[in-house]
């Protein structure tokens, strides 16, 4: 026969046991993620902040702690406003035209046709993502070469009778970096949207067909509402990716001609590593981190991600 | 028993005596000390003997040390960097020195030496140079100025070259210029009679009257050649009194104006800076451009082996030639630019004396001539001119006359960065983003905001 005191002791032990289990589970399941986040995100940010308050330059020596780099950012760097404007055009253009819209079109069209053909076309669109960056850009350089040997010029001159070859690298460099990045970025949206479309119960489309809905009506009233969460995710994720990525731009246009395709992340790279102004590059990079966090928070709020993350939106009950 | 003991003792004594004799005889071998030296060199197909000659020099030095009875021997290990150019290489090496992992010897473009000197990474050489006249005494005095920083000499010239405007005589004749005019151009350029704008006029005639597409082509990245144009228009970029960078707005605008006129006339392509190096060379050497602003080594490295330009002197000059950078106006001074590569020694190397002697041997006339004739670079000593191999390499002999008017890039530790800004200015003009005046303002603005101690006039 147990007393009330005994029962309380057992209950406490149970609570203590589950608390210990919770702590163990926390360490096992979240510990590695937390350690990695601290090591690869928090620590670099702290180092970046520390370096931005020094005069670290070409020979990696620090002779003083100073706010000089921030004075440069705010007072003397006349190139920054142009770079920020260009970054906005690049990110917004790539995202709106390719990563979301084109990705969506590809997902809808490749799921609307026969499965084998759809998979084939999706495979084709994934090829650039699977090939090395350098190879992908080499093909672009050949395609837009400003001579008669360039693919685009061959087509324009032979099929459309153009007199002289076009030089797109000089005349339309921003369009080129948007298109070259977009072709890669569209494939990610395509995969995520395709998975989401496949998750929509088939009977909804049949019911809509019975009600007399056409293709566009089905897309508008069934597909797009079900894709709200994936679209929000792709938009926020790709915005952050585009803000910090510049390898294709560096390989294709080297940020030029002049500064015409030098986006913010590339500008930081050029200042830090091509000129050896590491402390100034760190100060500029800090603003990129701040911009990224702000963009993520705005996106979170704008798309009401908190509500979307609570439970799946695709399933219909 | 006693006999056995005596025999054993005798045998042991003999073994000990023999062993001791052998040990004593071998002692110098065991005491030999190998000094391992690390040499940093950019992987550069235009100068494989820059590090190669140091390795050969180690053999010579070791023989010398043996003769002297020294127990020391040197061993050179080459550490190659894959940097695209000398600027990238210098930035990389500064970082390596910064973390205390620098080599004992390094090969650099001369204008970077003072950047290493400012941070205390490079050894001052004045006393050593004076101590070893047999190695350094005959190096052309003019070349030493490329190795100097404000307080002394910090490097040893390894080679020199000449930058010029190559031209295609066949195209000029096709454009209507008679042979006498075409052949007289080098002499007219040297005397100051041929001007920069006349080059643009000639190039325009070629573009208008022949099938050639381009008038004047230049390098598509940061480098020394186009600095000739700025020097022709009076910019020397360094204040002689302070050694600081000097930017003179009017002179900069005048030089940028030449590029601006070239593009407006359709002579310099608007996308010159977007083109690939090899594509530009191909355009010139296959007869699609009148002028190509570059250096003499391009003949040996590319023009002869890749595009089959005649290697025979007479045949070459029948259809091809070169001129110095012309004067801005009639009667002005022409320019040429040499860009010596130098050997330098780390300030903290353990055996500085040995390293200096090693580089002294690497600078021997015969070894330097090996480098000069195989890569079409100019030698560093007058005695090389007497070497039949050097005389046979006619581009060297002919280009040497440009050394009379040659200039250097300034040995300022920030010139590399300034040059990047100047190149961006050229790109801005050619692609139509800037006018000449705006380009001058751009260079001054960028340099003033990002570099230290810039004097603006």
Q: Give per-residue pLDDT as tens, B23-49.
A: 555 555 556 899 999 999 999 877 899
Residue of A nearest to B442 (CA): A78
Taking residues B249-263, report their average pLDDT.
98
User: Cβ B95–A72 below 8 Å, yes or no?
Assistant: no
Which residues does chain A have within 8 Å of residue B119's beta carbon, measured at their own beta carbons? 58-59, 61
Instruction: Spell out which residues of chain B touch residue A58, defining contact as CB-CB under 8 Å.
Output: 91, 94-95, 98, 115, 119
Q: Å from B363 to nearest chain A CA?
A: 29
The Cα–Cα gap between A75 and A69 comes to 10
**Interval B87-109 mean pLDDT:** 95
Task: Name the one residue in this structure whose structure tokens are 């030449």.
Answer: B258
Taking a contact as any Cβ pair under 8 Å apart, which residues of chain A between 79 and 98 contact chain B? 79
Mean per-residue pLDDT over chain A, rounded: 88
- Residues of chain A neighbouring B98 (CB-CB closer than 8 A): 58-61
Closest Cα to residue A165, out of B449, B271, B86, B129?
A: B271
| Rounded Cα–Cα distance for residues B169 and B257 (Å) | 26
DSSP state of B301: I
Residue A61 with chain B: CB contacts under 8 Å: 98, 119
Widest pairwise Cα distance in chain B: 115
CB contact under 8 A, B95 and A167: no
Closest approach of chain B CAs to the CA of A185, in angstroms? 25
Pick B94's closest partner by Cβ from A146, A257, A276.
A276
Segment among A72-81, B86-95, B316-325, B327-336 with least mean pLDDT:
A72-81
Closest approach of A160 to chain B, Cα-based (Å):
22
| Out of A1-5, A68-72, A177-181, least confident range | A1-5
- Put simply, the answer to whether B450 touches A275 (Cβ < 8 Å) is yes
Rg (CA), chain A: 26
Check if A317 contacts B (Cβ < 8 Å): no
Does the distance separating the beta carbons of A76 and B274 come in below 8 Å? Answer: no
Smallest CA–CA distance from A278 into chain B, residue: B95
Mean pLDDT of A11-30: 80
Give the distance from CA B392 to its chain's centroid.
Answer: 22
Q: Which residue of B has its CA nearest to A62?
A: B98
Which stretches of B296-407 are assigned E, i.e. beta strand? 320-323, 336-337, 341-345, 406-407
Residue B386 has pLDDT above 70, yes or no: yes
Decide if A59 and B94 are in contact by the 8 Å CB cutoff. yes
In chain A, the residue whose alpha carbon lies closest to the alpha carbon of B441 is A78
Which of the pair, A174 or B46, is modelled with greater confidence?
A: A174
Q: Tell me the per-residue pLDDT of B343-369, one tens digit each, with 9 for 90 and over.
A: 999 999 999 999 999 999 999 999 999
Residue A98 corresponds to which tokens in the numbers above? 């390719």
Contacts of A146 in chain B (CB under 8 A): 271, 274-275
Higher pLDDT, B20 or B82: B82
Q: Cβ of A258 and B424 within 8 Å? A: yes
Among A77, A169, A275, beta carbon nearest to B417: A275
Nearest CB neighbour to B91, from listed A77, A259, A276: A276
Most confident of A9-18, A304-313, B279-288: B279-288
Nearest to B270 among A58, A170, A276 (CB): A170
Decide if pLDDT at A315 tops 60: no
For residue B200, the model assigns a pLDDT of 98
Contacts of A134 in chain B (CB under 8 A): none
Measured in angstroms, the CA of A205 and the nearest CA of chain B are apart by 52
* 133-192 of A, contacting B, C-beta below 8 A: 146-147, 167, 169-170
CB within 8 Å of A180: residues ≥ 6 apart: A136, A137, A140, A248, A252
Between residues B382 and B230, the one the model is more confident about: B230
pLDDT tier for residue B9 given thresholds of 50, 70 and 90 = low
The pLDDT of residue B159: 92
CA–CA dist A235, A188 (Å, integer): 11
Q: Which of A76, A79, A170 is nearest residue B271 as measured by Cβ atoms?
A: A170
Q: A256 and B434 in contact by Cβ < 8 A?
A: no
The answer for A 230-269 residues in CB contact with B (under 8 A) is 253, 256-260
| Spatial contact of B245 and B319, defined as CB atoms under 8 Å apart | no
Give the highest mean pLDDT range of A74-88, B2-16, B188-202. B188-202
Q: How confident is the model at residue A113 (pLDDT cuts 50, 70, 90)?
A: confident
Closest partner residue to B273 (CB to CB) among A58, A77, A256 is A256
Mean pLDDT of B71-81: 95
Q: Mapped to the 3 state alphabet, what secondary structure does chain A carry?
A: CCCHHHHHHHHHHHHHHHHHHHHHHHHHHHHHHHHHHHHHHHHHHHHHHHHHCECCCCCCCCCCECCHHHHHHHHHCCCHHHHHHHHHHHHHHHHHHHHHHHHHHHHHHHHHCCHHHHHHHHHHHHHHHHCCHHHHHHHHHHHCCCCCCCHHHHHHHHHCCCCCCCCHHHHCHHHHHHHHHHHHHHHHHHHHHHHHHHCCCHHHHHHHHHCCCCHHHHHHHHHHHHCHHHHHHHHHHHHHHHHHCCHHHHHHCCCCCCCCCCCHHHHHHHHHHHCCCHHHHHHHHHHHHHHHHHHHHHHHHHCCHHHHHHCCCCCCC
Lowest mean pLDDT among B317-326, B410-419, B432-441: B410-419
Percent share of chain B, pLDDT over 90: 75
Q: Cβ of B428 and A59 within 8 Å?
A: no
Q: Do B430 and A257 touch (CB under 8 A)?
A: yes
Task: Give all strands (DSSP E) within B213-326, no chain letters.
Answer: 214-217, 245-247, 289-295, 320-323
Mean pLDDT of B424-444: 95
Q: Is the pLDDT of residue A316 over 60?
A: no
CA distance B318 to B310: 9
C-beta of residue B154 within 8 angstroms of C-beta of residue B117? yes
Pick among A257, A271, A278 to test the B interface (most B CBs inside 10 A): A257
| Per-residue pLDDT tens digits for A35-67 | 999 999 899 999 999 999 999 988 898 888 999
- What is the structure's pLDDT at A149? 85
ipTM > 0.90? no
Secondary structure of residue B396 in the 3-state scheme: helix
pLDDT given at position A97: 95
pTM of the model: 0.81
* Cα–Cα distance for residue pair A194/A223, rounded to 1 Å: 11
Q: Looking at residues B392-407, what average pLDDT do you find?
A: 87
Q: Which of B111, B130, B153 is nearest to B341 (CA)?
A: B111
């Amino acid at each position: 026969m147990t007393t009330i005191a005994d029962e309380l002791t057992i209950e406490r032990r149970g609570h203590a046991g589950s608390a210990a289990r919770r702590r163990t589970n926390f360490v096992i399941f979240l510990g590695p993620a937390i350690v990695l986040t601290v090591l690869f995100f928090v620590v670099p940010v702290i180092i970046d902040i520390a370096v931005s308050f020094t005069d670290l330059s070409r020979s990696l020596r620090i002779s003083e702690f100073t706010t000089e780099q921030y004075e440069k950012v705010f007072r003397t760097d006349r190139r920054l406003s142009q770079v920020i404007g260009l970054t906005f055009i690049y990110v917004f253009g790539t995202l709106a035209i390719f990563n979301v819209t084109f990705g969506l079109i590809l997902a809808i069209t490749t799921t609307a046709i026969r499965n084998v053909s759809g998979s084939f076309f999706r495979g084709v669109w994934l090829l650039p993502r699977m090939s090395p960056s350098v190879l992908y850009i080499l093909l672009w350089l050949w395609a837009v070469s400003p001579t008669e040997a360039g693919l685009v010029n061959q087509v324009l001159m032979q099929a459309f009778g153009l007199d002289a070859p076009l030089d797109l690298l000089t005349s339309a460099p921003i369009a080129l970096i948007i298109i070259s990045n977009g072709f890669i970025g569209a494939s990610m949206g395509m995969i995520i949207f395709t998975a989401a479309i496949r998750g929509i119960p088939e009977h909804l489309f049949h019911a809509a067909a019975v009600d007399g809905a056409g293709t566009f009506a089905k897309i508008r009233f069934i597909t797009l509402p079900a894709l709200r969460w994936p679209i929000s995710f792709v938009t926020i994720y790709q915005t952050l990716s585009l803000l910090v990525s510049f390898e294709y731009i560096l390989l294709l246009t080297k940020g030029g001609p002049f500064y015409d395709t030098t986006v913010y992340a590339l500008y930081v790279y050029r200042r830090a590593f091509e000129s050896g102004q590491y402390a100034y590059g760190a100060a500029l990079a800090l603003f990129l981190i701040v911009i990224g966090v702000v963009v993520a928070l705005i996106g979170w709020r704008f798309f009401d991600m908190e509500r979307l993350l609570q439970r799946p939106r695709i399933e219909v009950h | 028993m006693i006999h056995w003991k005596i025999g054993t003792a005798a045998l042991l004594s003999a073994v000990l005596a023999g062993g001791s004799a052998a040990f004593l005889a071998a002692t110098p071998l065991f005491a030999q000390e190998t000094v391992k030296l690390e040499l940093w060199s950019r992987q550069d197909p235009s100068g494989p003997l820059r590090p190669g000659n140091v390795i050969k020099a180690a053999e010579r030095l070791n023989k010398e040390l043996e003769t002297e009875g020294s127990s020391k021997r040197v061993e050179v290990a080459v550490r190659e960097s894959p940097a695209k150019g000398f600027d990238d290489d210098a930035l990389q090496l500064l970082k390596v020195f910064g973390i205390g992992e620098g080599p004992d010897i390094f090969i650099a473009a001369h204008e970077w030496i003072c950047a290493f000197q400012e941070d205390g990474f490079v050894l001052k050489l004045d006393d050593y140079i004076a101590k070893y006249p047999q190695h350094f005494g005959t190096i052309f005095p003019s070349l030493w100025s490329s190795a100097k920083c404000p307080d002394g000499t910090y490097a040893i010239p390894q080679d020199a070259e000449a930058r010029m405007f190559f031209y295609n005589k066949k195209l000029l004749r096709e454009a209507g210029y008679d042979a006498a005019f075409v052949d007289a151009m080098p002499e007219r350029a040297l005397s100051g009679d041929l001007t920069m704008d006349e080059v643009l006029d000639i190039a325009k005639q070629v573009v208008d009257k022949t099938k050639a597409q381009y008038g004047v082509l230049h390098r598509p990245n940061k480098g020394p050649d186009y600095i000739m144009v700025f020097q022709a228009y009076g910019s020397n970029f360094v204040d002689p009194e302070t050694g600081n960078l000097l930017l003179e707005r009017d002179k900069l605008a005048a030089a940028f104006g030449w590029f601006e006129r070239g593009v407006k006339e359709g002579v310099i392509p608007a996308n010159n800076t977007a083109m690939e190096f090899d594509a530009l060379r191909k355009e010139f050497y296959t007869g699609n451009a009148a002028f190509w602003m570059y250096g003499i080594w391009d003949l040996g490295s590319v023009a002869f082996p890749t595009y089959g330009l005649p290697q025979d002197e007479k045949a070459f000059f029948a259809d091809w030639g070169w001129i110095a950078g012309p004067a801005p106006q009639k009667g002005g001074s022409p320019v040429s630019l040499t860009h010596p590569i130098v050997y330098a020694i780390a300030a903290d190397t353990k055996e500085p004396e040995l390293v200096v002697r090693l580089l002294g041997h690497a600078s021997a006339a015969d070894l330097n001539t090996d480098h000069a004739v195989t890569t079409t670079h100019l030698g560093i000593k007058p005695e090389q001119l007497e070497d039949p191999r050097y005389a046979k390499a006619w581009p060297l002999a002919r280009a040497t006359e440009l050394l009379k008017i040659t200039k250097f890039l300034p040995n300022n530790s920030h010139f590399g960065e300034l040059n990047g800004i100047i190149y961006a200015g050229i790109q801005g003009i050619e692609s139509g983003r800037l006018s000449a005046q705006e380009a001058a303002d751009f260079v001054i603005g960028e340099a003033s905001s990002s570099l230290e101690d810039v004097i603006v006039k």
